[in-house]
Amino acid sequence: MIYGYARVSSKGQNLDRQLVELREFGVSPSNIFCDKESGKSFERKNYLRLRRKLREGDLFVVKSIDRLGRNYSMILEEWAYITKTVKCDVVVLDMNLLDTRIRDDNLMGKFIADLVLQILSFVAENERMSIRERQAEGIRIAKAKGVKFGRPKKELPLYVEKAFSDYRDGAISLDEALAATRFKRTTFYKYYRSYCIKRL
């Protein structure tokens, strides 16, 4: 049996191009399973339905490896489960080397596909590490230049600052300050302390 899988990351995205290529390959529309969910995990409703249907000798077809998932270490685990535990073949349409079928012109299909997947995983992991290093370096340089990160602190409304000032100067009581700011006592003290520190 030939099964196809198509995925996009959100409900607003279109599956048509993937569906056309799966049908052109020879997958029956009734055997195509689709998800509109993130690829960061394999806990997707229709992918899990497809996974339960796979049997030894079946063929699993997907347009591209990133339609299967985004995390290469998880893809490697899933690939091993499908090809070695269930003993299905896998074809990735946009990468001819990711075809585990053993044919006359592809005697080493499974070996080559596994090898290519390992290389892709290594490259993807290296790229993730490089991105993290570049981000860390960019943050370090920005901090050295005085760039502040995080949300800017909200300025207090003028009527709150006036109430704090009057309370500090003894012009109004705590109850009057609470009424003027419309703060509860704990919130009042939290902001009042910050106000006083800024004016030291």
Task: State the catalytic residues.
Answer: 9
- Angle 83-124-59 from CA coordinates, rounded to 5°: 20
Report yes or no: 29 and 23 within 8 Å, Cβ to Cβ. yes
Q: What is the DSSP letter of 138?
A: H
Give the per-residue SS3 of 105-137. CECCHHHHHHHHHHHHHHHHHHHHHHHHHHHHH
Alpha-carbon span 93 to 63, nearest angstrom: 5
